[in-house]
């Protein structure tokens, strides 16, 4: 791309251009013959078959879940060839779909030329191994797929550390050894005539790998703890200034980053893909009456979000827990927006201190949504606003609702401020809500609602005014 073209790109456009700079070419791949080595090489998804087990709900729910799995697989860079749903009371404990269906799946894999099977659920280590033995290609579950997408999209040092910690937590119970590979020992009586340095209690390679993973996880937790301290310092600094905080939460690809860009001009990356942005972004914004507040874009949610990710991203999700107001963004054009709302609230319920925070449901993508669906959501969610981040429809109404819902400033002042303390007038504009200003010969007569810290400074510096001349 030429330099002239780059000059017209916003910050998010740079990120999008960088992400799309290297694309996978279909048909060019090299796979290992031994699929049992899958845990020890980078996950590469190319030609996949999707498999889901339908246990509860309607067939529409099952199909929507598999459609979401298709979007996840395509976001990870794969080509979806087939999608299969099996009706069962519960997943098979051995092969997830049962031995007979596993054999049928093997025939479909051979006929379609697939190199990967992705299951719509979190499989146990035993299920993964036994299903892999039947279909003879690598088997990935939904959790591993989501972790792979997070690994591709994480950019910040904190985000990469959080994703790595989640991946290691997932990998630890799934380490496996075959034959002479991971089961071989170091030292011990089995060393026989190795001699000095070869004797000892002995440790298998799989035990060695588990120990190294645990040590790496402990180190990552320390690093994330240090980074979360810095994040907490920033939050406490904003709290001392008494700037209200708004957090954007919602399902992945509901348009959270687009809404942040529309409200603040942040210029963060926007892409029609699941989990396009992971790193939280905090920007300043103002209500229609000029009051300052911060607005934070957080990581997206999804059905059955892996608990490893929830734990690893807990410091990031604290942006929601510390907010004064939550904007819960939902995709109005989605076939089942109610399930998106339920999935997000299920995760938020596990966070301490979120239950008492006011919530505004922001139904996004109104320009592409069915009016019947919008009317249904408006009836179901009384405290909601319909917007389109792409066209700007409803944004003014949303800002008015934010202004009404933000906590009110407790202290109203009406005093004369000397001209040499213009910094206090400036802070009143930035941090408070200015009702009126009148310039007199002795100073500036200010009438405003301000936070406690600014009120104490004005009280020390200014003089009370009974009437405005």
What are the binding residues for GTP?
250-257, 275-279, 297-300, 364-367, 388-390
- Tell me the three state secondary structure of residue 195: coil
Cβ-defined contacts of 104-113 (< 8 Å, 24+) = 105/49, 105/51, 105/134, 105/135, 106/134, 106/135, 106/136, 108/49, 108/82, 108/84, 109/49, 109/135, 109/136, 109/137, 112/47, 112/49, 112/81, 112/82, 113/47, 113/81
Calpha distance 409→242 (Å, rounded): 9
**Residue 327 in contact with residue 245, Cβ under 8 Å?**
no
How far apart are the two ends of the chain, measured CA to CA in Å?
Answer: 62
Query: DSSP letter string over 236-285?
Result: HHHHHTT--EEEEEEBTTSSHHHHHHHHH-------SSTT---S-EEEEE
* Structure token digits, residue 151: 């690994």
Q: Which residues are annotated as a binding site?
A: 250-257, 275-279, 297-300, 364-367, 388-390
241 exposed, middle or buried (CB, 10 Å; 0-12, 13-18, 19+)? Answer: middle
Separation of alpha carbons 118 and 77, rounded Å: 13
Is the distance from CB of 173 to CB of 209 less than 8 angstroms? no
In 112-257, beta strands by DSSP E: 116-119, 138-141, 185-186, 203-204, 245-250
Q: What is the largest CA-CA distance in the chain?
A: 103
Query: Which SS3 state, helix, strand or coil, does residue 306 take?
Result: coil
The binding site for Mg(2+) consists of: 257, 277
Using alpha carbons only, give the angle 171, 172, 177 rounded to the nearest 5 degrees.
90
Q: How far is CA 330 from CA 16, 204, 210, 335, 339, in A?
A: 23, 50, 41, 11, 10
DSSP state of 463: E
Are 248 and 295 a contacting pair, CB within 8 Å? yes
27 Rama class: left (phi>0) / alpha (psi -120 to 50) / beta: left
């Amino acid at each position: 791309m030429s330099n002239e073209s780059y000059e017209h790109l916003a910050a998010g456009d740079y990120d999008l251009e960088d992400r799309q700079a290297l694309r996978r070419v279909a048909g060019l791949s090299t796979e290992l013959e031994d699929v049992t080595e899958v845990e020890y090489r980078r996950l590469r998804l190319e030609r996949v078959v999707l498999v889901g087990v339908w246990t509860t709900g309607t067939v529409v729910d099952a199909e929507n879940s598999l459609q979401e799995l298709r979007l996840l697989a395509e976001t990870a860079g794969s080509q979806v060839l087939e999608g299969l749903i099996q009706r069962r009371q519960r997943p098979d404990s051995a092969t997830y779909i049962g031995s007979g269906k596993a054999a049928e799946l093997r025939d479909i894999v051979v006929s379609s030329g697939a190199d990967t099977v992705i299951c719509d659920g979190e499989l146990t280590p035993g299920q993964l191994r036994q299903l892999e033995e039947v279909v003879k290609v690598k088997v990935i579950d939904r959790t591993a797929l989501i972790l792979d997408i997070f690994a591709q999209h994480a950019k910040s040092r904190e985000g990469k550390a959080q994703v790595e910690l989640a991946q290691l937590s997932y990998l630890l119970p799934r380490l496996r050894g075959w034959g002479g590979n991971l089961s071989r020992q170091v030292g011990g009586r089995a060393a026989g005539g190795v001699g000095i340095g070869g004797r000892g209690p002995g440790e298998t390679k799989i035990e060695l790998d588990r120990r190294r993973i645990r040590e790496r996880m402990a180190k990552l937790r320390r690093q994330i703890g240090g980074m979360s301290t810095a994040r907490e310092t920033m939050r406490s600094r904003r709290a001392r200034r008494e700037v209200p905080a708004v957090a954007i939460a919602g399902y992945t690809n509901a348009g959270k980053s687009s809404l942040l860009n529309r409200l603040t001009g942040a210029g963060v990356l926007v892409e029609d893909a699941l989990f396009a942005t992971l790193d939280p972004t905090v920007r300043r914004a103002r209500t229609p009456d000029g009051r300052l507040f911060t607005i934070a874009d957080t990581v997206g949610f999804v059905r059955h979000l892996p608990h490893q990710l929830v734990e690893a991203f807990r410091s990031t999700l604290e942006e929601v827990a510390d907010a004064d107001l939550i904007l819960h963004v939902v995709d109005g054009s989605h076939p089942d927006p109610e399930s998106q709302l339920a999935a997000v609230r299920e995760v938020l319920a596990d966070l301490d201190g979120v239950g008492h925070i006011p919530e505004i449901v922001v139904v996004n993508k109104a320009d592409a949504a069915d009016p019947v669906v919008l009317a249904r959501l408006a009836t179901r969610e009384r405290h909601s606003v319909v917007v389109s981040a792409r066209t700007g429809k409803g944004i003014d109404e949303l800002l008015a609702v934010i202004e009404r819902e933000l906590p009110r400033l407790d202290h109203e002042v009406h005093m004369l401020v000397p001209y040499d303390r213009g910094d206090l007038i400036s802070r009143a504009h930035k941090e408070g809500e200015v009702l009126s200003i009148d310039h007199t010969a002795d100073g500036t007569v200010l009438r405003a609602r301000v936070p406690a810290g600014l009120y104490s400074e004005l009280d020390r510096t200014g003089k009370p005014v009974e009437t405005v001349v």
